[in-house]
Structure formats: structure tokens, C-alpha cells
Amino acid sequence: MIDAGLSRRETFARLAAIGEDPAQIDAIFITHEHSDHIAGLPVMGKTLMRPVFLSHKTAPMIPWGEKVPPVEVFQAGTTVVIGDIEVSSFTIPHDAVDAVGFSFRSQGLKASVATDLGYIPDSVKYHLRDSDILLLESNHDIEMLKVGPYPWQVKQRVMGRNGHLSNDAAANFIREEMSSRVSTLLLGHLSDHNNYPALVELSASQALEERGLRPKLAIVEGRCTSEVFVY
């Protein structure tokens, strides 16, 4: 499981809706300490008591409370193995203490997750290469953000190099850099105030059409995040 931004109740309900038992989760990997990625972690962690993997700078930021699950600390850029899944971490540009993305390899498939990043540097592009499944951020429509309700300093943060990817930035990556091997493209971490799923789908579909690519495309609505990859 990647991140735990949703409550335990909501996460377990969503797992049940796809026929998955939370007890089968082997580990939780955390990308960074912002509340929409860890809000459900203390309760979820003490319920499941599965290893929680965090970078060495992120680990001290978690408000565990009285009961702490097994915590595994890693250095960003390293790889660990959980069962038959190889998990590689990589640094992403975001205004957290040590934000990371992840790639998962198992049974000849590679799934990569890159959300909460202000831009896509070459180092991230390298880690996203040859992904079969890609979850990429498409956070905001730039014009909606500019005229939206956020204070100007927040708008600057979101648009900055340590902020969030816009629909245009995600589409440009799809158009120019995304591996043709991607068979499932998930676009997520949409802003509740500065985006619409229809805009994300339109910009991504146009970019895919220009590339001549036809992966399965899905829009993951909502800003709070918890993802589970099932092999």
C-alpha cells in the first residue's frame, strides 16, 4: 500500500469494494509527510501492524501516538524487496522534508508512482522508464488556479518547482517522454478547487492521440491518497 491519506474506515471500505482483504497488505510505503498522505496512517498502522517504510528524514515526522507499528527506514534512492516485489525509491521535487516516488517490479511488470512533484527532472524520468503501469500527478488547470480561491502565495507554491504538476505539464510528459510501454495510465492527485476530471482526461487524451498511444486511461479523482497495487 502506498500512502495512507484516507481514514482506516474509508480505506478498508474501498478495499472491500474491490474484493481485497486489508489483512493481506504486506507493507505500507509512505511518499512524504503531508497530511493528505498520512492522515490515516497512525490508526491504520496500529490496526494492521505491518511494516511501514519511510525515508530516514520522513520517519520522525509521523505522529504515531501510543502504539507504533514496525517501522523500516530507508535512504531515498535505495531498493527493498517485499515478498516477490522489488520496490525502488527515488527523490521527487516537492516541498516536503524528503519526498519520494516508487517503482514496483514483479512478475515481469513495472508499476511506478509519481505524484506531488513540481516538475519532472531527468532523474525522475529515468525511474519512470519502461513502466507498464504509471500513476502520474495531474493536479491543476493553470488558469483555474490563477483565478481560484487560494491566496497568491499558495498559488505560487503550487505552480513552483517544488509544488504540483499541472494538466499541461502532465500532458507534455505524455506527449514527449512517456514510455510507449505504458499499458495503464492513471492520472491522479487532482485539486478539489482548481481542476476537473474532464479537463484532465481531455488534455491527456489529446497528448496520447498525438503520440499514437492507446493505453488504458483512468482519472483518479480526489486529493487524498491511498493506493494499493495488487499483483
Domains of the chain: 8-219 (3.60.15.10)
Which residues, including other chains, have CB under 8 Å from residue 144's CB and lie 6 or more apart?
Answer: 191, 193, 194, 195, 196
User: For residue 142, what is the enclosing H or E element?
Assistant: helix 142-147
The larger pLDDT score, comparing residue 228 to residue 54, is at: 54
For residue 191, give the nearest of 148, 135, 133, 152 by alpha carbon. 148
Indicate the pTM of the whole model.
Answer: 0.92
| Residues 79-116 pLDDT 10s | 999 999 999 999 999 999 999 999 999 999 999 999 99
Average pLDDT, the chain: 94
Q: Report the amino acid identity of residue 138.
A: S
Q: Which residue has the cell 505500507?
A: 28
Q: Cell triple for residue 147? A: 483565478
- pLDDT, average across residues 14-19: 94
pLDDT for 96: 97
pLDDT for 221: 78
Q: Cell triple for residue 39? A: 492522515
- Which pLDDT band, with edges at 50, 70 and 90, does 217 fall under? very high
- pLDDT, average across residues 26-40: 96
Q: Which residue has the cell 517501522?
A: 71
- Which pLDDT band, with edges at 50, 70 and 90, does 229 fall under? very low
With 60 as the cut, is the pLDDT of residue 228 above it? no
- Which pLDDT band, with edges at 50, 70 and 90, does 223 fall under? low
| Residues 189-205 pLDDT 10s | 999 999 999 999 999 99
